Amino acid sequence: MEISVTAPGELECGGRVYRCALGPGGIVGDKVEGDGGTPAGAFTLRRVLYRPDRLGRPITSLPIEEITADQGWCDDPGHPDYNRQVSLPFSASHENLWREDAVYDVIVTLGHNDNPPVPGKGSAIFMHVARPGYEPTEGCVALALPDLLDVLGACGPGDTICINPADNTKER
Protein backbone atom coordinates (compact mmCIF):
# COMPACT_ATOMS: atom_id res chain seq x y z
CA MET A 1 0.00 0.00 0.00
CA GLU A 2 1.24 3.46 -0.84
CA ILE A 3 -0.11 6.55 0.82
CA SER A 4 0.20 9.76 -1.22
CA VAL A 5 0.42 13.26 0.24
CA THR A 6 0.13 16.50 -1.70
CA ALA A 7 0.91 20.07 -0.68
CA PRO A 8 -2.68 21.32 -0.64
CA GLY A 9 -3.21 19.14 2.43
CA GLU A 10 -4.63 15.95 1.03
CA LEU A 11 -3.65 12.40 1.82
CA GLU A 12 -4.84 9.53 -0.36
CA CYS A 13 -4.95 5.95 0.88
CA GLY A 14 -6.86 3.02 -0.59
CA GLY A 15 -8.85 5.24 -2.94
CA ARG A 16 -10.03 7.56 -0.16
CA VAL A 17 -8.88 11.16 0.25
CA TYR A 18 -8.38 12.67 3.72
CA ARG A 19 -7.58 16.21 4.82
CA CYS A 20 -4.12 16.55 6.40
CA ALA A 21 -1.85 19.21 7.82
CA LEU A 22 1.76 19.69 6.75
CA GLY A 23 4.57 21.96 7.92
CA PRO A 24 4.17 25.73 7.34
CA GLY A 25 7.06 25.59 4.85
CA GLY A 26 5.14 23.19 2.59
CA ILE A 27 6.83 20.22 0.96
CA VAL A 28 10.60 20.69 0.71
CA GLY A 29 13.12 18.75 -1.35
CA ASP A 30 16.10 19.42 0.91
CA LYS A 31 14.89 19.04 4.51
CA VAL A 32 16.85 20.92 7.19
CA GLU A 33 16.25 20.63 10.94
CA GLY A 34 13.86 23.34 12.11
CA ASP A 35 12.87 24.66 8.66
CA GLY A 36 9.15 23.90 9.12
CA GLY A 37 9.07 21.93 5.89
CA THR A 38 7.59 18.50 5.30
CA PRO A 39 10.21 16.41 3.48
CA ALA A 40 9.53 15.22 -0.07
CA GLY A 41 10.13 11.56 -0.81
CA ALA A 42 8.88 8.04 -0.20
CA PHE A 43 9.27 6.84 3.39
CA THR A 44 8.57 3.45 4.91
CA LEU A 45 6.01 3.33 7.70
CA ARG A 46 8.20 1.97 10.52
CA ARG A 47 5.87 1.47 13.50
CA VAL A 48 2.95 2.87 15.44
CA LEU A 49 3.20 4.34 18.95
CA TYR A 50 0.06 5.14 20.93
CA ARG A 51 -1.15 6.43 24.32
CA PRO A 52 -2.90 3.48 26.03
CA ASP A 53 -4.40 5.79 28.66
CA ARG A 54 -6.29 7.72 25.98
CA LEU A 55 -7.35 5.10 23.43
CA GLY A 56 -7.35 1.40 22.72
CA ARG A 57 -4.72 -0.34 20.67
CA PRO A 58 -5.10 0.84 17.05
CA ILE A 59 -6.00 -1.82 14.51
CA THR A 60 -3.09 -2.16 12.09
CA SER A 61 -0.68 -4.74 10.73
CA LEU A 62 2.25 -2.40 11.42
CA PRO A 63 4.46 -3.06 14.45
CA ILE A 64 2.92 -1.27 17.43
CA GLU A 65 3.93 -0.27 20.95
CA GLU A 66 2.57 1.77 23.81
CA ILE A 67 4.00 5.20 24.60
CA THR A 68 5.16 5.68 28.18
CA ALA A 69 5.80 8.90 30.11
CA ASP A 70 9.58 8.41 29.92
CA GLN A 71 9.86 8.40 26.12
CA GLY A 72 11.23 11.19 23.96
CA TRP A 73 12.76 11.77 20.53
CA CYS A 74 16.17 13.43 20.13
CA ASP A 75 16.17 16.46 17.82
CA ASP A 76 19.70 17.69 18.64
CA PRO A 77 21.83 17.35 15.47
CA GLY A 78 25.00 17.36 17.61
CA HIS A 79 23.97 14.36 19.72
CA PRO A 80 24.78 10.73 18.80
CA ASP A 81 21.09 9.80 19.33
CA TYR A 82 19.86 12.39 16.81
CA ASN A 83 16.55 11.35 15.23
CA ARG A 84 16.14 8.38 17.57
CA GLN A 85 13.76 7.51 20.36
CA VAL A 86 15.33 8.18 23.76
CA SER A 87 14.52 7.62 27.42
CA LEU A 88 13.76 10.59 29.64
CA PRO A 89 15.22 12.40 31.41
CA PHE A 90 17.51 13.24 28.50
CA SER A 91 20.05 16.05 28.57
CA ALA A 92 20.06 17.00 24.86
CA SER A 93 17.23 18.73 22.97
CA HIS A 94 14.28 16.40 22.44
CA GLU A 95 10.53 16.12 22.03
CA ASN A 96 8.40 14.46 24.70
CA LEU A 97 6.27 11.70 23.20
CA TRP A 98 3.91 11.75 26.22
CA ARG A 99 2.20 15.10 25.60
CA GLU A 100 -0.57 16.99 27.34
CA ASP A 101 -2.32 17.67 24.03
CA ALA A 102 -3.63 14.87 21.80
CA VAL A 103 -1.17 15.35 18.91
CA TYR A 104 0.95 12.33 19.82
CA ASP A 105 -1.86 10.06 21.01
CA VAL A 106 -1.03 8.05 17.86
CA ILE A 107 2.29 8.40 16.06
CA VAL A 108 3.52 6.58 12.97
CA THR A 109 7.30 6.77 12.78
CA LEU A 110 8.47 7.29 9.22
CA GLY A 111 11.69 6.13 7.60
CA HIS A 112 12.93 9.68 7.07
CA ASN A 113 16.63 10.32 7.76
CA ASP A 114 16.97 7.24 9.93
CA ASN A 115 19.27 4.78 8.17
CA PRO A 116 21.58 6.24 9.39
CA PRO A 117 20.46 9.67 10.60
CA VAL A 118 22.38 12.55 9.01
CA PRO A 119 22.79 15.41 11.50
CA GLY A 120 20.69 18.43 10.55
CA LYS A 121 18.59 16.69 7.85
CA GLY A 122 15.44 16.53 9.95
CA SER A 123 14.20 14.56 12.92
CA ALA A 124 10.91 13.34 14.38
CA ILE A 125 9.10 13.29 11.05
CA PHE A 126 5.92 11.44 11.94
CA MET A 127 2.37 10.91 10.81
CA HIS A 128 0.27 11.91 13.84
CA VAL A 129 -2.99 13.43 15.07
CA ALA A 130 -3.87 16.87 13.69
CA ARG A 131 -4.43 19.87 15.92
CA PRO A 132 -7.88 21.48 15.88
CA GLY A 133 -8.33 23.41 12.65
CA TYR A 134 -5.47 21.47 11.02
CA GLU A 135 -2.88 23.99 12.22
CA PRO A 136 0.51 23.42 10.56
CA THR A 137 2.86 20.83 12.02
CA GLU A 138 6.61 21.23 12.52
CA GLY A 139 7.17 19.18 9.35
CA CYS A 140 5.04 16.10 9.97
CA VAL A 141 1.86 14.87 8.29
CA ALA A 142 -1.18 15.10 10.59
CA LEU A 143 -4.72 13.78 10.23
CA ALA A 144 -7.86 13.84 12.35
CA LEU A 145 -7.74 10.90 14.77
CA PRO A 146 -10.57 8.90 13.10
CA ASP A 147 -8.90 9.37 9.70
CA LEU A 148 -5.48 8.36 11.03
CA LEU A 149 -6.97 5.22 12.59
CA ASP A 150 -8.76 4.44 9.30
CA VAL A 151 -5.50 4.78 7.34
CA LEU A 152 -3.64 2.60 9.84
CA GLY A 153 -6.22 -0.14 9.39
CA ALA A 154 -5.15 -0.43 5.76
CA CYS A 155 -1.39 -0.39 6.43
CA GLY A 156 1.13 -3.13 6.94
CA PRO A 157 4.88 -3.77 7.02
CA GLY A 158 6.72 -2.37 4.01
CA ASP A 159 4.04 0.20 3.17
CA THR A 160 5.20 3.71 2.30
CA ILE A 161 4.06 7.29 2.41
CA CYS A 162 4.94 9.29 -0.69
CA ILE A 163 5.14 13.04 -0.12
CA ASN A 164 5.14 14.51 -3.60
CA PRO A 165 6.35 18.06 -4.27
CA ALA A 166 5.18 17.86 -7.89
CA ASP A 167 1.59 18.29 -6.69
CA ASN A 168 2.25 21.69 -5.07
CA THR A 169 -0.03 23.46 -7.54
CA LYS A 170 -2.90 21.00 -7.38
CA GLU A 171 -6.18 22.82 -6.90
CA ARG A 172 -8.80 21.66 -4.42
Please indicate, yes or no, if residue 142 is contained in any of the structural domains: yes
At 53 the pLDDT is: 98
Please indicate, yes or no, if residue 77 is contained in any of the structural domains: yes
At 166 the pLDDT is: 64
* pLDDT surpassing 80 at residue 170: no
* pLDDT surpassing 70 at residue 169: no
Coil, strand, or helix at residue 144?
A: coil
Please indicate, yes or no, if residue 84 is contained in any of the structural domains: yes
Q: What is the pTM of this model?
A: 0.94
CATH of the domain at 19: 2.40.440.10
24: left (phi over 0), alpha (psi -120 to 50) or beta: alpha
Please indicate, yes or no, if residue 171 is contained in any of the structural domains: no
DSSP structural state of residue 21: B
Domains: count for the chain: 1
pLDDT in tens, 47-102: 999 999 999 999 999 999 999 999 999 999 999 999 999 999 999 999 999 999 99
At 171 the pLDDT is: 33
DSSP structural state of residue 16: E
* pLDDT surpassing 80 at residue 14: yes
Please indicate, yes or no, if residue 172 is contained in any of the structural domains: no
Q: How far is it, in rounded angstroms, from Cα 55 to Cα 119?
A: 34
Please indicate, yes or no, if residue 170 is contained in any of the structural domains: no
The upper half-sphere exposure of residue 60, i.e. CA atoms within 13 Å in the direction of its Cβ, equals 27
Q: How far is it, in rounded angstroms, from Cα 123 to Cα 111?
A: 10
pLDDT in tens, 94-138: 999 999 999 999 999 999 999 999 999 999 999 999 999 999 999
At 102 the pLDDT is: 98
| C-beta of residue 77 within 8 angstroms of C-beta of residue 102 | no
pLDDT classification of 165: cutoffs 50, 70, 90: confident
Which structural domain range is residue 116 located in? 2-165
pLDDT in tens, 139-149: 999 999 999 99
Please indicate, yes or no, if residue 47 is contained in any of the structural domains: yes
Classify burial at 132, counting beta carbons within 10 Å of its beta carbon; exposed 0-12, middle 13-18, buried 19 or more.
exposed
